[in-house]
């Protein structure tokens, strides 16, 4: 059973026999079959020197199968509840017995061949962690392999390919679930210990200062970060060839071996070292190490750590942080393009994530050093000054440090070098809350809290030490290490040898000696934990910004986070920073504003020297989106002097397939110009990339042949707005749907009387929390307030489908919800509305809007009335534009549609022919915002010069005739009841695509739009 190549056919009969549950099968037979599966499968038992023990004695019983640190209990059938409970009791005894005997963390498996259940101890109780079902009809051997191997953790020398790392260590893997559950139990048991509380408090303070309202102090997040950080520290040892299984857990997590080797800044005593300070933590780290040691990390030749991060951290968490990781091939090519003189240029990635850009910048520098015959010692010392990373996420920083080490390569870490510090820092490059308090005139400092006399204590260092990052880091770490050692109160340690070794100037020694004495006091009082870690990391980005230490190249992929997805507190800070720099576009563009543009502007302002180059991966809207106009101008105001940028070019990546990012992307290039120069806005010519990417290609050499590159004008350079654009409006935001959309009933045999209907909330499996958890509303509502609503799914090309129904308190053109309204004249509506308001007030996420304000956001509802007799509507998003004529003036248009009034059916047919044409989608696609593919049509199509309909123009008349003909064709199509609207749209496009008129329509549109 070799996982990468699939499940061998030779084992299929055995697997089918195991998955079957015949009444006549004995436990002994099943036990023998499972043993055979473990022997024949690719579990590396021989390489691990592990035996499969049958009927091994344990306590008062015998373990059916024992392999390594796993015990397996076999039962004929587990469908009976009593049998299952008894089997769990029995398994719990075995796991408990083995754990106590060995001092190791054991896992238990309970199986009847078809059902596989994994357990481990939580405290003294056995807890179910994960389960897997093997189908009797077509058992999936590969899926069972990965599930079982995740429990056994016996594989050896697995190549750290992205797919294998994700499958064996990602959040969906059994390995991760076992480790996550064990760590959560460990935290729950020891959360009240002062050392654990302090570390979580400092973790929360740092993330709060960096993220503001983005950050939520959640114990589950602390556990998640602890697991990833402990994993990163263990992997750091493995990537340089250290046998982590031979080291003590404390040494692994604190990085003692790296300290001994004088490689600093890789593994540090940080917030997450609490695991080795609590009972049970040693066993947890040993188990985690076994799972990670399955991989041959010496064979990792790229930024594999980002795969680990992405597979462990949930998509929603990364989206909230605006994290979209860059593929290796793009980072490699971007570094090669911008870092043209690696031995001279100092490079900073201010949002380094797991270190992809750092990896390639390090490799480029070392290759140049080798070519220039620079001695290894000098090359490594200079490297750490030339390639630097900063990120505000502690887990990303830990992974980036390991990635930096990977880029150096274990073969270079020989005795022929001096001490080095990995220059990747935990800090806030945006400086949301500027930490000017860290610096006084002469020194850098950090508060260590208050002593017993309520006096604040400070750790201070001469400011000049920061000019040499590696030496400063060594001094801070060295003093912390000496302070933590046992001391004779009557004979305090002398720092003379330390000062001599670290070449500390006499003038600097008194301040450092005072800081050391403070560190000793903190240690003696139990308050010495991670102050040195805190100081080193917080100070670095501020130092680069404040002093003549700016870099030659800024490169990276900043956070992509839209204003509408920011918490309210962050929105306020973001808006002010944008307004201060001339980047804010309010009105309809406010919600589309994105953090990435501000991040680049702020990074250039703070960290880039005059004449320095920058290259950043950004959302594609940076090239032509209206909300990026201020960014593209190249002139950014500031409290002091404005920052002037000269943009030099861009790459448009949005047409690559599959997209390398969850959203369409671009790259922008520029340099920081002296303030006396005029800014140079982003050029209107871009380098457009098209092509289908090679799956799993990592290097630029593998990828480049599949990409076609050509210089073309950006769409925004030649746009002439359509006269229709000012008259086009988005439909109403009728949300949350559970409070408005309804299904109706007759009211029973007696009826309800005229003008009234029984309604109940219409439910959908697409609802999200908290609304999906709310009970359905139901009641009797006056019929006039139950309105037909057209959703995105109500429209296909040339045709309006059935509408949904919603309770809307519309009285003519106004909402009947405010003081003095006539709401209470309608008892049914009033009761429904007040219950809906109560649910909204309890569960709404924003304090800004009442339910009525939410319903009529930007007057998108009331502006529809009085409705014109005819309207053209089209879809707000989708892979293709679809449009149709609405001839019902009572219908409400929902926000997944846009609409505009039209004067006649002829005008509607004219516009329908244009909008439904494939050529229109082709022309508008470059202007669209992007998701996985082109999705957001919005009002971009009206940036094309679509003229107002003129019934005297022959081309317009011809298009109107074509539109009428295609309208009739679609009207005559029959669709099966219940057919999905996406399928209907696809079928309509296929039918129209075969019609002779389609090519003529396209030719006419191309000629008309130029």
Q: How confident is the model at residue 110 (pLDDT cuts 50, 70, 90)?
A: very high
* Token pair belonging to 889: 């003036």
d(CA 513, CA 15): 69
Contacts of 202 (CB under 8 A, 6+ apart): 271, 529, 530, 534
* Residue 564 vs residue 988, higher pLDDT: 988
* Residue 387 vs residue 940, higher pLDDT: 387
With 0-12 CB in 10 A as exposed, 13-18 as middle and 19+ as buried, what is 9?
A: exposed
d(CA 805, CA 744): 9
The arithmetic mean of pLDDT across residues 777-805, rounded, is: 94
Quick one: what percent of the chain has pLDDT higher than 70? Answer: 90
pLDDT the model gives residue 307: 78
Tokens 């003909």 belong to 965
Q: How confident is the model at residue 334 (pLDDT cuts 50, 70, 90)?
A: very high
Q: Angle of helix 281-292 relative to helix 174-190, nearest 10 degrees?
A: 160
pLDDT tens readout for residues 399-408: 899 899 989 9
Comparing CA positions, the residue from 915, 935, 953 lying closest to residue 722 is 915
The arithmetic mean of pLDDT across residues 223-239, rounded, is: 90
pLDDT tens readout for residues 292-315: 999 998 888 766 777 777 777 666
The arithmetic mean of pLDDT across residues 957-967, rounded, is: 95
**DSSP code string of 692-722:** EPPTT--SHHHHGGG-EEEEEE-GGGG----
Average pLDDT, the chain: 86
With 0-12 CB in 10 A as exposed, 13-18 as middle and 19+ as buried, what is 718?
A: exposed
Comparing CA positions, the residue from 711, 723, 644, 656 lying closest to residue 683 is 711
Least confident of 593-597, 639-643, 713-717: 713-717
The arithmetic mean of pLDDT across residues 269-284, rounded, is: 88
pTM of the entire structure? Answer: 0.71
pLDDT the model gives residue 704: 95
pLDDT the model gives residue 433: 58
* Token pair belonging to 58: 């344990």
List of domains in the chain: 3-156 (3.90.1570.30), 183-426 (no CATH), 436-546 (no CATH), 561-683 (3.40.50.150), 727-1009 (no CATH)
Buried b (16+ CB within 10 A) or exposed e, 444-464: bbbebeeeeeeeebebbbbbe
pLDDT greater than 50 at residue 437: yes
pLDDT the model gives residue 3: 42
d(CA 648, CA 635): 14
Q: How confident is the model at residue 777 (pLDDT cuts 50, 70, 90)?
A: very high
pLDDT the model gives residue 269: 72
pLDDT the model gives residue 719: 47
pLDDT greater than 50 at residue 236: yes
pLDDT greater than 50 at residue 676: yes
d(CA 39, CA 52): 8
Q: How confident is the model at residue 436 (pLDDT cuts 50, 70, 90)?
A: low
Q: How confident is the model at residue 341 (pLDDT cuts 50, 70, 90)?
A: very high
**DSSP code string of 539-570:** HHHHHHHHTT--EEEEEE-----BGGGS-HHH
pLDDT the model gives residue 535: 65
pLDDT greater than 80 at residue 541: no
Least confident of 184-188, 511-515, 617-621, 703-707: 511-515
d(CA 554, CA 614): 5
User: Which H or E run includes 392?
Assistant: none
pLDDT the model gives residue 317: 64
pLDDT greater than 50 at residue 193: yes
pLDDT the model gives residue 749: 58
pLDDT greater than 80 at residue 469: no
pLDDT the model gives residue 429: 82
DSSP helix/strand/coil, 306 = helix
pLDDT the model gives residue 263: 86
pLDDT tens readout for residues 794-826: 999 999 999 999 999 998 778 988 777 888 889
pLDDT the model gives residue 528: 56
Q: How confident is the model at residue 1 (pLDDT cuts 50, 70, 90)?
A: very low
pLDDT greater than 50 at residue 544: yes
Distance, C-alpha 653 to centroid of its chain? 20
Comparing CA positions, the residue from 611, 582, 606, 614 lying closest to residue 673 is 611
pLDDT the model gives residue 794: 95
DSSP helix/strand/coil, 27 = helix
Contacts of 731 (CB under 8 A, 6+ apart): 790, 860, 864, 876, 892, 893, 894, 895, 896, 897, 898, 899
* Token pair belonging to 265: 């800044």
pLDDT greater than 90 at residue 840: yes
Is residue 898 within 8 A of residue 737, CB to CB? The reply is no
Helix, strand, coil percent values for the chain (each to nearest 5) = 45, 20, 35
Q: What are 883's strand-pairing partners?
A: 874
pLDDT tens readout for residues 591-633: 778 889 999 999 998 899 999 999 999 998 899 888 899 999 9
> Across 174-188, 258-272, 454-468, 623-637, which has the greatest mean pLDDT?
174-188
> Across 266-270, 438-442, 712-716, which has the greatest mean pLDDT?
266-270
CB atoms inside a 10 Å sphere around CB 102: 11
pLDDT the model gives residue 717: 39
* Residue 715 vs residue 408, higher pLDDT: 408
Contacts of 901 (CB under 8 A, 6+ apart): 727, 868, 870, 871
Is residue 41 within 8 A of residue 70, CB to CB? The reply is no
Least confident of 138-147, 314-323, 768-777, 780-789: 314-323
* Token pair belonging to 172: 């969906």
pLDDT the model gives residue 805: 96
> Across 170-184, 200-214, 626-640, which has the greatest mean pLDDT?
170-184
pLDDT greater than 50 at residue 718: no
* Residue 855 vs residue 212, higher pLDDT: 855
pLDDT greater than 60 at residue 4: no
């Amino acid at each position: 059973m070799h996982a990468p190549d699939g499940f061998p056919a030779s084992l299929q009969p055995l697997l089918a026999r195991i998955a079957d549950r015949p009444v006549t099968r004995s436990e002994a037979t099943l036990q023998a079959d499972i043993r055979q599966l473990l022997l024949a499968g690719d579990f590396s038992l021989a390489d691990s020197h592990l035996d499969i023990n049958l009927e091994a004695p344990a306590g008062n019983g015998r373990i059916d199968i024992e392999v390594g640190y796993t015990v397996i209990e076999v039962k004929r059938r587990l469908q009976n509840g009593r049998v299952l409970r008894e089997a769990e009791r029995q398994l719990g005894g075995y796991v408990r017995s083995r754990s106590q005997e060995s001092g190791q963390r054991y896992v238990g498996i309970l199986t009847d061949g078809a059902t596989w259940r994994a357990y481990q101890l939580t405290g003294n109780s056995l807890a179910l962690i994960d389960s897997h079902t093997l189908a009797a009809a077509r058992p999936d051997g590969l899926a069972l392999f990965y599930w079982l191997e995740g429990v056994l953790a016996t594989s050896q020398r697995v190549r750290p390919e992205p797919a294998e790392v994700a499958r064996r260590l990602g959040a969906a893997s059994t390995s991760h679930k076992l480790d996550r559950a064990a760590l959560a139990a460990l935290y729950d048991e020891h959360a009240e210990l002062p050392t654990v509380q302090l570390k979580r408090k400092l973790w929360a303070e740092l993330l709060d200062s960096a993220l503001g309202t983005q950050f939520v102090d959640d114990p589950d997040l602390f556990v998640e970060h602890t697991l990833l950080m402990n994993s990163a520290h263990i992997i750091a040892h493995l990537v340089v060839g250290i046998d982590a299984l031979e080291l003590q857990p404390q040494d692994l997590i604190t990085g003692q071996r790296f300290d001994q080797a004088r490689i600093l800044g890789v593994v540090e005593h940080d917030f997450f070292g609490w695991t080795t300070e609590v009972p049970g933590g040693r066993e947890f780290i040993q188990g985690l190490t076994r799972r990670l040691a399955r991989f041959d990390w010496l064979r990792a030749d790229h930024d594999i750590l980002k795969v680990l991060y992405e597979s462990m951290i949930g998509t929603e968490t990364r989206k909230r942080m605006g994290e979209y990781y860059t593929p290796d091939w793009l980072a490699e090519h971007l570094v090669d393009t911008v870092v043209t003189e690696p031995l001279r240029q100092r490079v900073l990635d201010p949002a380094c994530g797991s270190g992809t850009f750092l990896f390639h910048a390090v490799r480029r520098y070392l290759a140049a050093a080798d070519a220039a015959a620079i001695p290894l010692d000098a090359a490594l010392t200079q490297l750490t000054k030339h390639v630097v990373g900063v990120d505000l996420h502690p887990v990303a920083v830990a992974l980036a440090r390991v990635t930096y080490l990977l880029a150096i390569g274990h073969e270079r870490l020989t005795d022929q070098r001096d001490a080095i510090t990995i220059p990747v820092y935990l800090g806030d490059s945006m400086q949301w809350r500027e930490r000017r308090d860290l610096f006084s005139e002469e020194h850098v400092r950090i508060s260590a809290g208050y002593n017993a006399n309520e006096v604040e204590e400070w750790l201070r260092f001469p400011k000049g030490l920061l000019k040499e990052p590696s030496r400063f880091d060594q001094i801070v770490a060295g003093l912390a290490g000496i302070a933590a050692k046992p001391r004779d109160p009557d004979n305090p340690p002398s720092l003379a040898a330390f000062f001599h070794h670290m070449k500390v100037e006499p003038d600097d020694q008194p301040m450092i000696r005072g800081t050391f004495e403070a560190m000793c006091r903190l240690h003696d009082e139990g308050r010495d934990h991670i102050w040195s870690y805190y100081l080193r990391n917080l100070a670095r980005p501020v130092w680069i910004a404040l002093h003549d230490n700016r870099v030659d190249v800024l490169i990276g992929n900043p956070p992509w986070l839209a204003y509408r997805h920011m918490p309210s507190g962050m929105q306020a800070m973001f808006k002010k920073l944008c307004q201060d720099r001339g980047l804010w576009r309010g009105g309809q563009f406010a919600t589309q504003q994105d953090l990435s543009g501000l991040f680049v502007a702020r990074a250039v302002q703070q960290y880039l020297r005059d004449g320095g180059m920058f290259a950043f991966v950004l959302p594609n809207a940076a090239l032509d989106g209206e909300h990026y106009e201020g960014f593209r101008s190249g002139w950014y105001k500031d409290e002091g002097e404005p920052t002037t940028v000269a943009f030099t070019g861009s790459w448009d990546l949005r047409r690559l397939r599959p997209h390398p990012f969850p959203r369409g992307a671009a790259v922008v290039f520029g340099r920081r110009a002296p303030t006396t120069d005029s800014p140079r806005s982003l050029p209107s010519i871009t380098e457009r990339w098209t092509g289908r990417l090679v799956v799993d290609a990592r290097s630029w050499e593998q990828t480049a042949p599949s990409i076609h590159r050509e210089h073309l004008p950006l769409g925004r350079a030649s746009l002439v707005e359509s006269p229709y654009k000012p008259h086009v409006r988005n439909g109403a935001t009728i949300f949350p749907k559970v409070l408005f959309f309804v299904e109706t009933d007759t009211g029973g045999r007696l009826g309800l009387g005229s003008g009234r209907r029984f309604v109940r909330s219409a439910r959908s499996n697409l609802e999200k929390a908290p609304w999906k958890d709310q009970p359905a509303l139901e009641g009797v509502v006056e019929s006039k307030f139950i309105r037909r609503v057209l959703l995105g799914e109500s429209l296909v090309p040339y045709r309006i489908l059935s509408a949904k129904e919603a309770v809307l308190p519309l009285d003519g053109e106004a909402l009947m919800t405010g003081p003095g309204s006539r709401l209470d004249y309608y008892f049914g509506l009033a009761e429904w509305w007040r219950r809906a308001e109560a649910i909204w007030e309890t569960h709404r996420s924003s304090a800004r809007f009442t339910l009525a304000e939410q319903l009529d956001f930007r007057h998108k509802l009331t502006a529809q009335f009085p409705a014109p007799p005819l309207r053209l509507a089209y879809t707000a998003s989708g892979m293709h534009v679809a449009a149709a004529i609405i001839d019902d003036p009572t219908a409400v248009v929902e926000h997944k549609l846009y609409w505009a009034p039209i004067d006649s059916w002829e005008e509607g047919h004219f516009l329908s022919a244009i909008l439904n044409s494939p050529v229109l989608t082709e022309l508008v696609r470059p202007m669209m915002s992007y998701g996985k593919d082109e999705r957001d049509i919005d009002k971009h199509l009206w940036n094309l010069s679509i003229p107002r309909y003129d019934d005297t123009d022959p081309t317009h008349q011809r298009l109107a005739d074509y539109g009428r003909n295609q309208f009739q064709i679609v009207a005559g199509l029959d669709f099966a009841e219940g057919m999905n609207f996406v399928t209907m749209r696809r079928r309509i496009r296929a039918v129209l695509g075969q019609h002779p008129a389609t090519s003529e329509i396209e030719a006419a549109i191309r000629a008309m739009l130029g």
